[in-house]
Chains A and B, each alone.
Chain A
Amino acid sequence: MKICITALMMLMSFSLWVNDGKSQSEEGDEGFLSGFIDLVEENRPWAKPIHRVDMDRMRELKEMGLLTFHQASWFVEVDPDER
């Protein structure tokens, strides 16, 4: 238990060092835990984050002609069983 807490504290400290506030400003005001989760799940904290959108809003904008849902090239389907 002591080792787990120590490791967690070290990783959280590393998270603070890596995330210098510039990329975090795009993610909003995140606490230590979410920063730690980001670090574990995402090895590019310096890039823009991947966003989830409001699909209803997207469809609305598409209907207004401001967006498109044009089929994109260069992607693959991901099978979770292969990860």
Chain B
Amino acid sequence: MSGRVQCVLCPHLCELAPGERGRCTVRLNRDGELVSLVYGRPVAVHVDPVEKKPLFHFMPGIDVFSIATAGCNLRCDFCQNWEISQATPEEVSPYHMPPEAVVESAVEYSCGAVAYTYTEPIVYFEYTRDCARLAREAGLANILVTAGYINPGPLAELAPYIDAANVDLKSMSDSYYRNTCGGTLQPVLNTITALKDSGTWVEVTNLVVPTMNDSDDDIDALASWVLNNAGAETPLHFSRFFPMYRMTDLPPTPVDTLKRARERALEIGLHHVYVGNAVTSDGMMTVCPRCGRPLIERHGYMVTSKRIRNGCCDYCSAPVAGVWNGTEDL
């Protein structure tokens, strides 16, 4: 045998000679065996509100113990977390936090869930999986915040442990994925539908980048795909781009662009469309899909009122899609 291995975790399918590491930079062929360089070595550990993931229809108001290692299997020119996602593991100073410590800390900080986020949890697959198993045993929910560039087999192994996911859908253009992100589109679409089919609560985020993916056609295509393949009840978040990493020559996304995207997506038929990383009058408010009255009001990431009872609108009793964690008003 040659000592060569092929990683089959993600669609890159990196074939590695001994001493080579994959495009994610955190999986290495060590003498004919593939190893993870970042297991138990997070570089980011925070307690965040669940709304920050962003998840607006999953246990609103809970705190989430959020972790990430270095690395990512994409290389988006606009990456908003590039300092850790595009870093190699030897370029950062990680904590030492095995799965047991992650879950113990989540419990200690009274978190309702553990989130695998900030960079790309797919590339620290084994760590994500093992933490998720222990978190589930401890009664905590598991949240995956991902770009979705994973093969079906590994996703099928991980999905049963994942209660909620936010998946980045960067564009409906495969050339955008290839030229700007270093990946392809179809695997991401497959991930969204597979997670939905597995019973995971899914919300989708689109980072709107001026001149790159902000046209009416772009917005319409993306919103239509979500409607037809993930369902009208799937929340869609349009997030504001800020100049970052290798895209510092563009301005931040105009707030009007985000408002327009939201309006178009609602017109297309999605029930819940939000604006992220920008202050708008109603872009972060959950309204009833039937009567239109405000159900969850937020000030930044803080929930200030909730009018959902037993998963239904408090006014007209229409069901509101989501995973709700209590019926009392705030």
Chain A residue nearest to B37 (CB atoms) is A67
- Known A-B contacts A46-B182, A47-B183, A50-B14; A75 and B40 likewise in contact (beta carbons under 8 Å): no
Chain A 16-51 interface 0/1 with B at a Cβ cutoff of 8 Å (1 = within): 000010110010000000000000000010111111
Question: Separation in Å of the B15 CB from the closest CB of chain A?
Answer: 6
Question: Separation in Å of the A69 CB from the closest CB of chain B?
Answer: 4
Q: Whole-angstrom distance between the alpha carbons of A66 and B26 in the complex?
A: 12
Find chain A residues with CB under 8 A from B154 CB: 73-74
Chain B residue nearest to A79 (CB atoms) is B1
Assess whether A51 is in contact with B25, with CB atoms less than 8 Å apart. yes
Assess whether A53 is in contact with B6, with CB atoms less than 8 Å apart. no
- Would you call B30 an interface residue if the criterion is a C-beta within 8 Å of the partner chain's C-beta atoms? yes
Question: Separation in Å of the A25 CB from the closest CB of chain B?
Answer: 8
Find chain A residues with CB under 8 A from B127 CB: 70
- Known A-B contacts A74-B125, A75-B7; A49 and B90 likewise in contact (beta carbons under 8 Å): no
Find chain A residues with CB under 8 A from B7 CB: 72, 74-75
- Known A-B contacts A50-B14, A68-B36, A78-B2; A73 and B125 likewise in contact (beta carbons under 8 Å): yes
Assess whether A72 is in contact with B36, with CB atoms less than 8 Å apart. yes
Assess whether A80 is in contact with B34, with CB atoms less than 8 Å apart. no
Find chain A residues with CB under 8 A from B41 CB: 66-68
> Which of B17, B32, B33 is in CB contact (< 8 Å) with A52?
B17
Question: Separation in Å of the A6 CB from the closest CB of chain B?
Answer: 28
Q: Whole-angstrom distance between the alpha carbons of A70 and B27 in the complex?
A: 9
- Would you call B4 an interface residue if the criterion is a C-beta within 8 Å of the partner chain's C-beta atoms? yes
Find chain A residues with CB under 8 A from B61 CB: none
Interface residues on B, range: 35 or more
Question: Separation in Å of the B187 CB from the closest CB of chain A?
Answer: 13
- Known A-B contacts A47-B12, A70-B126, A79-B2; A53 and B182 likewise in contact (beta carbons under 8 Å): no
Q: Whole-angstrom distance between the alpha carbons of A49 and B24 in the complex?
A: 9
Q: Whole-angstrom distance between the alpha carbons of A64 and B7 in the complex?
A: 26
Assess whether A53 is in contact with B28, with CB atoms less than 8 Å apart. yes
Question: Separation in Å of the A33 CB from the closest CB of chain B?
Answer: 21
Find chain A residues with CB under 8 A from B151 CB: 74
Assess whether B14 is in contact with A74, with CB atoms less than 8 Å apart. no
Chain B 3-24 interface 0/1 with A at a Cβ cutoff of 8 Å (1 = within): 0111111001011110111111
- Would you call A58 an interface residue if the criterion is a C-beta within 8 Å of the partner chain's C-beta atoms? yes
Chain B residue nearest to A55 (CB atoms) is B19
Find chain A residues with CB under 8 A from B268 CB: none
- Known A-B contacts A52-B20, A78-B4; A70 and B35 likewise in contact (beta carbons under 8 Å): yes
Query: Which residue numbers of B lie inside 8 Å of A, CB to CB?
Result: 1-2, 4-9, 12, 14-17, 19-25, 27-28, 30, 32-41, 75, 77, 89-90, 93-94, 96, 125-127, 129, 151, 153-154, 157, 178-179, 182-183, 246
Extra A-B contacts (16), CB below 8 Å, given A66-B89, A72-B9: A46-B178, A46-B182, A47-B23, A48-B23, A48-B75, A52-B19, A53-B19, A58-B30, A67-B41, A70-B40, A71-B35, A72-B126, A73-B9, A74-B125, A75-B9, A80-B4
Query: Which residue numbers of A lie inside 8 Å of B, CB to CB?
Result: 20, 22-23, 26, 44, 46-53, 55, 57-58, 61, 65-80
